[in-house]
A and B are shown apart, each in its own frame.
Chain A
Amino acid sequence: MDPLEDILRETCARKTPPADFTAAVMRRVRARELPNKHPRLRWAMAGAIAASLFVGVYMSRQPAPIVSPDADGADVQLLLSLQIAGAKLNKARDALMRPAGRDAR
Protein backbone atom coordinates (compact mmCIF):
# COMPACT_ATOMS: atom_id res chain seq x y z
CA MET A 1 0.00 0.00 0.00
CA ASP A 2 1.20 3.47 -0.91
CA PRO A 3 2.16 5.31 2.31
CA LEU A 4 0.98 8.59 0.85
CA GLU A 5 -2.50 7.11 0.30
CA ASP A 6 -2.49 5.89 3.89
CA ILE A 7 -1.72 9.38 5.17
CA LEU A 8 -4.36 10.85 2.87
CA ARG A 9 -6.96 8.42 4.23
CA GLU A 10 -6.10 9.48 7.73
CA THR A 11 -6.04 13.17 6.84
CA CYS A 12 -9.36 12.99 4.99
CA ALA A 13 -11.14 10.96 7.65
CA ARG A 14 -14.69 12.03 8.36
CA LYS A 15 -15.13 14.76 10.96
CA THR A 16 -17.90 15.09 13.48
CA PRO A 17 -20.06 18.17 12.90
CA PRO A 18 -20.93 20.43 15.86
CA ALA A 19 -23.39 19.00 18.37
CA ASP A 20 -26.18 21.41 17.41
CA PHE A 21 -25.81 20.81 13.67
CA THR A 22 -28.99 18.73 13.25
CA ALA A 23 -31.00 21.15 15.37
CA ALA A 24 -29.77 24.08 13.27
CA VAL A 25 -30.75 22.31 10.04
CA MET A 26 -34.19 21.47 11.43
CA ARG A 27 -34.71 25.08 12.53
CA ARG A 28 -34.00 26.25 9.00
CA VAL A 29 -36.20 23.51 7.52
CA ARG A 30 -39.13 24.50 9.76
CA ALA A 31 -38.65 28.18 8.95
CA ARG A 32 -38.79 27.38 5.26
CA GLU A 33 -41.68 24.97 5.62
CA LEU A 34 -44.13 27.32 7.42
CA PRO A 35 -45.14 29.49 4.45
CA ASN A 36 -45.78 26.33 2.43
CA LYS A 37 -48.06 24.78 5.02
CA HIS A 38 -51.31 26.34 3.72
CA PRO A 39 -50.87 26.57 -0.03
CA ARG A 40 -54.59 27.18 -0.65
CA LEU A 41 -54.63 30.13 1.71
CA ARG A 42 -51.56 31.49 0.00
CA TRP A 43 -53.27 31.23 -3.41
CA ALA A 44 -56.46 32.81 -2.04
CA MET A 45 -54.46 35.75 -0.66
CA ALA A 46 -52.62 36.15 -3.92
CA GLY A 47 -55.97 36.10 -5.79
CA ALA A 48 -57.50 38.70 -3.47
CA ILE A 49 -54.50 41.01 -3.89
CA ALA A 50 -54.58 40.60 -7.66
CA ALA A 51 -58.35 41.27 -7.77
CA SER A 52 -58.08 44.42 -5.64
CA LEU A 53 -55.23 45.68 -7.80
CA PHE A 54 -57.27 45.01 -10.93
CA VAL A 55 -60.33 46.82 -9.53
CA GLY A 56 -58.17 49.75 -8.41
CA VAL A 57 -56.55 50.13 -11.81
CA TYR A 58 -59.90 49.71 -13.60
CA MET A 59 -61.58 52.36 -11.47
CA SER A 60 -58.74 54.82 -11.85
CA ARG A 61 -58.99 54.53 -15.62
CA GLN A 62 -62.76 55.16 -15.75
CA PRO A 63 -63.69 58.68 -17.12
CA ALA A 64 -65.32 61.12 -14.70
CA PRO A 65 -69.20 61.00 -14.84
CA ILE A 66 -70.76 63.51 -17.27
CA VAL A 67 -73.84 65.35 -15.96
CA SER A 68 -76.33 65.98 -18.80
CA PRO A 69 -78.27 69.33 -18.97
CA ASP A 70 -81.57 67.39 -18.70
CA ALA A 71 -80.48 65.83 -15.43
CA ASP A 72 -79.38 69.24 -14.21
CA GLY A 73 -82.96 70.65 -14.65
CA ALA A 74 -84.66 67.58 -13.27
CA ASP A 75 -83.43 68.14 -9.73
CA VAL A 76 -84.86 71.68 -9.77
CA GLN A 77 -88.21 70.34 -10.94
CA LEU A 78 -88.14 67.67 -8.25
CA LEU A 79 -87.52 70.28 -5.55
CA LEU A 80 -90.36 72.46 -6.87
CA SER A 81 -92.79 69.56 -6.97
CA LEU A 82 -91.82 68.58 -3.43
CA GLN A 83 -92.44 72.16 -2.27
CA ILE A 84 -95.92 72.23 -3.92
CA ALA A 85 -96.79 68.84 -2.47
CA GLY A 86 -95.63 70.02 0.96
CA ALA A 87 -97.71 73.21 0.78
CA LYS A 88 -100.84 71.25 -0.19
CA LEU A 89 -100.31 68.77 2.61
CA ASN A 90 -99.94 71.65 5.08
CA LYS A 91 -103.25 73.13 3.88
CA ALA A 92 -105.01 69.80 4.26
CA ARG A 93 -103.61 69.39 7.76
CA ASP A 94 -104.76 72.85 8.76
CA ALA A 95 -108.25 72.08 7.46
CA LEU A 96 -108.42 68.91 9.48
CA MET A 97 -107.15 70.54 12.67
CA ARG A 98 -109.58 73.50 12.50
CA PRO A 99 -112.42 73.37 15.15
CA ALA A 100 -115.83 72.38 13.85
CA GLY A 101 -117.59 75.63 15.19
CA ARG A 102 -115.53 77.89 13.10
CA ASP A 103 -116.59 75.98 10.02
CA ALA A 104 -120.25 76.51 10.94
CA ARG A 105 -119.72 80.23 11.16
Chain B
Amino acid sequence: MEKAPRILVEAALRDPEAFEEIVDKHKSMVYSLVFHFFQSRALAEDIAQEVYLELFKNLDRIVSDLHLSFWLRQAVTRKCIDHTRRLKHRRYQPLEDITEPGYEPEESDPFLAAALRKKVAALPDKMRMVVILRFQEDLKLSEISQVLDMPVNTVKTTLRRALARLREKAHNLELEVSYGSARRYPSGNLRAQDATG
Protein backbone atom coordinates (compact mmCIF):
# COMPACT_ATOMS: atom_id res chain seq x y z
CA MET B 1 0.00 0.00 0.00
CA GLU B 2 1.14 3.57 -0.61
CA LYS B 3 3.51 5.18 1.88
CA ALA B 4 1.36 8.21 2.39
CA PRO B 5 0.62 10.16 5.54
CA ARG B 6 -2.35 9.21 7.64
CA ILE B 7 -3.01 12.59 9.15
CA LEU B 8 -6.78 12.17 9.24
CA VAL B 9 -6.58 8.68 10.67
CA GLU B 10 -4.06 9.66 13.37
CA ALA B 11 -6.26 12.58 14.38
CA ALA B 12 -9.32 10.35 14.61
CA LEU B 13 -7.43 7.79 16.67
CA ARG B 14 -6.40 10.50 19.15
CA ASP B 15 -9.80 12.14 19.28
CA PRO B 16 -12.93 10.36 18.06
CA GLU B 17 -14.50 13.74 17.31
CA ALA B 18 -11.92 14.18 14.52
CA PHE B 19 -13.57 11.23 12.81
CA GLU B 20 -16.15 13.74 11.61
CA GLU B 21 -13.60 15.11 9.17
CA ILE B 22 -13.13 11.66 7.62
CA VAL B 23 -16.90 11.25 7.29
CA ASP B 24 -17.22 14.66 5.64
CA LYS B 25 -14.37 14.05 3.24
CA HIS B 26 -15.61 10.76 1.83
CA LYS B 27 -19.36 10.83 2.43
CA SER B 28 -20.24 11.74 -1.13
CA MET B 29 -18.22 8.81 -2.53
CA VAL B 30 -19.55 6.29 -0.01
CA TYR B 31 -23.17 7.44 -0.25
CA SER B 32 -23.14 7.60 -4.07
CA LEU B 33 -21.67 4.11 -4.49
CA VAL B 34 -24.53 2.63 -2.46
CA PHE B 35 -27.10 4.92 -4.06
CA HIS B 36 -26.12 3.91 -7.60
CA PHE B 37 -26.04 0.27 -6.62
CA PHE B 38 -29.50 0.15 -5.03
CA GLN B 39 -31.10 3.25 -6.51
CA SER B 40 -32.46 4.00 -3.08
CA ARG B 41 -31.67 6.99 -0.90
CA ALA B 42 -32.84 5.26 2.30
CA LEU B 43 -30.61 2.25 1.73
CA ALA B 44 -27.74 4.48 0.65
CA GLU B 45 -27.94 6.40 3.90
CA ASP B 46 -28.26 3.32 6.06
CA ILE B 47 -25.50 1.27 4.45
CA ALA B 48 -23.16 4.26 4.20
CA GLN B 49 -23.58 4.84 7.94
CA GLU B 50 -22.82 1.19 8.64
CA VAL B 51 -19.67 1.42 6.54
CA TYR B 52 -18.49 4.39 8.60
CA LEU B 53 -19.19 2.54 11.85
CA GLU B 54 -17.12 -0.37 10.57
CA LEU B 55 -14.36 2.04 9.64
CA PHE B 56 -14.40 3.55 13.13
CA LYS B 57 -13.97 0.07 14.58
CA ASN B 58 -11.06 -0.74 12.24
CA LEU B 59 -9.41 2.68 12.17
CA ASP B 60 -6.10 1.40 13.54
CA ARG B 61 -5.76 -0.89 10.51
CA ILE B 62 -5.71 2.03 8.06
CA VAL B 63 -2.14 2.64 6.98
CA SER B 64 -2.60 5.89 5.06
CA ASP B 65 -5.19 8.41 3.96
CA LEU B 66 -5.03 6.88 0.47
CA HIS B 67 -5.61 3.45 1.96
CA LEU B 68 -8.65 4.96 3.63
CA SER B 69 -10.36 5.63 0.27
CA PHE B 70 -9.48 2.16 -0.93
CA TRP B 71 -10.75 0.59 2.32
CA LEU B 72 -14.02 2.53 2.11
CA ARG B 73 -14.65 1.49 -1.51
CA GLN B 74 -13.96 -2.12 -0.64
CA ALA B 75 -16.19 -2.01 2.45
CA VAL B 76 -19.04 -0.40 0.48
CA THR B 77 -18.75 -3.00 -2.26
CA ARG B 78 -18.82 -5.86 0.22
CA LYS B 79 -21.77 -4.42 2.11
CA CYS B 80 -23.76 -3.80 -1.07
CA ILE B 81 -23.23 -7.32 -2.39
CA ASP B 82 -23.99 -8.85 1.03
CA HIS B 83 -27.15 -6.81 1.24
CA THR B 84 -28.39 -7.90 -2.20
CA ARG B 85 -27.95 -11.52 -1.12
CA ARG B 86 -30.23 -10.82 1.82
CA LEU B 87 -32.72 -9.00 -0.40
CA LYS B 88 -32.79 -11.74 -3.03
CA HIS B 89 -35.78 -13.49 -1.53
CA ARG B 90 -37.74 -10.33 -0.92
CA ARG B 91 -39.71 -8.36 -3.42
CA TYR B 92 -37.84 -5.12 -3.43
CA GLN B 93 -39.36 -1.91 -4.69
CA PRO B 94 -36.77 0.84 -4.83
CA LEU B 95 -38.00 4.08 -3.39
CA GLU B 96 -36.49 5.88 -6.33
CA ASP B 97 -39.26 4.57 -8.54
CA ILE B 98 -41.48 7.06 -6.78
CA THR B 99 -40.51 10.63 -7.44
CA GLU B 100 -40.01 12.51 -4.21
CA PRO B 101 -41.87 15.81 -4.02
CA GLY B 102 -39.54 18.69 -4.65
CA TYR B 103 -36.76 16.39 -5.88
CA GLU B 104 -34.96 17.88 -8.82
CA PRO B 105 -32.84 15.48 -10.84
CA GLU B 106 -29.35 16.83 -11.37
CA GLU B 107 -28.93 15.41 -14.88
CA SER B 108 -29.43 17.67 -17.83
CA ASP B 109 -31.53 14.98 -19.48
CA PRO B 110 -33.49 13.36 -16.66
CA PHE B 111 -35.45 10.98 -18.92
CA LEU B 112 -32.41 9.47 -20.52
CA ALA B 113 -30.52 9.31 -17.23
CA ALA B 114 -33.42 7.66 -15.41
CA ALA B 115 -33.86 5.08 -18.15
CA LEU B 116 -30.16 4.27 -18.17
CA ARG B 117 -30.09 4.08 -14.38
CA LYS B 118 -32.77 1.40 -14.57
CA LYS B 119 -30.73 -0.52 -17.11
CA VAL B 120 -27.65 -0.31 -14.90
CA ALA B 121 -29.70 -1.38 -11.88
CA ALA B 122 -30.81 -4.48 -13.79
CA LEU B 123 -27.24 -5.69 -14.29
CA PRO B 124 -25.95 -8.55 -12.09
CA ASP B 125 -24.37 -7.46 -8.79
CA LYS B 126 -20.66 -7.62 -9.64
CA MET B 127 -21.19 -6.30 -13.15
CA ARG B 128 -23.17 -3.38 -11.74
CA MET B 129 -20.45 -2.61 -9.21
CA VAL B 130 -17.77 -2.68 -11.92
CA VAL B 131 -19.79 -0.17 -13.96
CA ILE B 132 -20.36 2.07 -10.94
CA LEU B 133 -16.71 2.02 -9.86
CA ARG B 134 -15.64 2.73 -13.41
CA PHE B 135 -18.04 5.57 -14.15
CA GLN B 136 -18.70 7.08 -10.75
CA GLU B 137 -15.20 6.85 -9.31
CA ASP B 138 -13.40 6.86 -12.64
CA LEU B 139 -11.19 4.00 -11.43
CA LYS B 140 -8.74 2.17 -13.67
CA LEU B 141 -9.34 -1.50 -14.34
CA SER B 142 -6.43 -2.43 -12.06
CA GLU B 143 -7.91 -0.37 -9.23
CA ILE B 144 -11.32 -1.99 -9.69
CA SER B 145 -9.68 -5.40 -9.62
CA GLN B 146 -8.10 -4.52 -6.25
CA VAL B 147 -11.34 -3.24 -4.77
CA LEU B 148 -13.37 -6.22 -5.94
CA ASP B 149 -10.55 -8.70 -5.44
CA MET B 150 -10.90 -9.94 -9.01
CA PRO B 151 -8.26 -10.51 -11.71
CA VAL B 152 -7.82 -7.52 -14.03
CA ASN B 153 -8.80 -9.58 -17.07
CA THR B 154 -12.04 -10.60 -15.38
CA VAL B 155 -12.81 -6.96 -14.65
CA LYS B 156 -12.05 -6.08 -18.26
CA THR B 157 -14.33 -8.82 -19.57
CA THR B 158 -17.06 -7.93 -17.08
CA LEU B 159 -16.98 -4.28 -18.07
CA ARG B 160 -17.02 -5.11 -21.76
CA ARG B 161 -20.02 -7.41 -21.28
CA ALA B 162 -21.81 -4.79 -19.19
CA LEU B 163 -21.32 -2.15 -21.85
CA ALA B 164 -22.44 -4.58 -24.53
CA ARG B 165 -25.62 -5.31 -22.58
CA LEU B 166 -26.27 -1.63 -22.04
CA ARG B 167 -25.71 -0.91 -25.72
CA GLU B 168 -28.05 -3.70 -26.61
CA LYS B 169 -30.67 -2.18 -24.39
CA ALA B 170 -29.91 1.21 -25.83
CA HIS B 171 -32.04 0.33 -28.86
CA ASN B 172 -35.09 0.41 -26.63
CA LEU B 173 -33.62 3.21 -24.59
CA GLU B 174 -33.31 5.31 -27.71
CA LEU B 175 -36.95 4.71 -28.51
CA GLU B 176 -38.05 5.35 -24.93
CA VAL B 177 -36.18 8.59 -24.64
CA SER B 178 -35.85 9.53 -28.25
CA TYR B 179 -36.43 13.17 -27.44
CA GLY B 180 -33.49 13.22 -25.00
CA SER B 181 -31.17 11.28 -27.29
CA ALA B 182 -32.03 13.35 -30.29
CA ARG B 183 -31.29 16.51 -28.40
CA ARG B 184 -27.95 15.26 -27.11
CA TYR B 185 -26.63 13.16 -29.97
CA PRO B 186 -27.10 13.03 -33.71
CA SER B 187 -29.92 10.65 -34.58
CA GLY B 188 -28.92 6.99 -34.66
CA ASN B 189 -25.67 7.58 -32.79
CA LEU B 190 -26.30 4.88 -30.18
CA ARG B 191 -27.45 2.55 -32.92
CA ALA B 192 -24.21 3.23 -34.74
CA GLN B 193 -22.29 2.33 -31.59
CA ASP B 194 -24.16 -0.96 -31.41
CA ALA B 195 -23.14 -1.79 -34.91
CA THR B 196 -19.48 -1.02 -34.29
CA GLY B 197 -19.02 -2.07 -30.69
Contacts and interface: CB of A to CB of B under 8 A. Distances in A.
Interface of A: 2-5, 7-18, 21-22, 24-26, 28-30, 32-33
Contact of B27 (A13, A21, A30, A33): A21
Given A4-B193, A7-B116, A17 B107 contact: no
A3 B53 contact: no
A28 to B, nearest CB: 6
Given A8-B131, A14-B28, 9 more contacts: A2-B163, A4-B166, A12-B136, A14-B136, A15-B32, A21-B27, A21-B31, A28-B52, A28-B53
A15 B120 contact: no
A3 B189 contact: yes
29 contacts: A2-B193, A2-B197, A3-B189, A4-B163, A4-B193, A5-B135, A7-B113, A7-B184, A8-B120, A8-B131, A9-B135, A11-B116, A11-B120, A12-B132, A13-B32, A14-B29, A15-B44, A16-B28, A17-B31, A17-B44, A17-B48, A18-B41, A25-B23, A25-B49, A26-B17, A26-B19, A26-B23, A28-B53, A29-B56
Contacts of A8: 116, 120, 131, 135, 166
B122 to A, nearest CB: 13
A9 B134 CA distance: 9
A7 B44 CA distance: 22
Interface residues of B, number: 45
A4 B167 contact: yes
A17 B116 contact: no
A10 B113 contact: yes
Nearest to B46: A24
Contacts of B36: 12, 15
B106 interface: yes
B38 interface: no
Contact of B107 (A11, A14, A21): A11
B62 interface: no
Contacts of A10: 107-108, 113
Contacts of A28: 49, 52-53
Contact of B23 (A2, A13, A22, A33): A22
A15 B116 contact: no
Nearest to B131: A8
A12 B166 CA distance: 14
Nearest to B57: A32
B163 A22 contact: no
Contacts of A32: 53, 56-57
Contacts of B132: 12
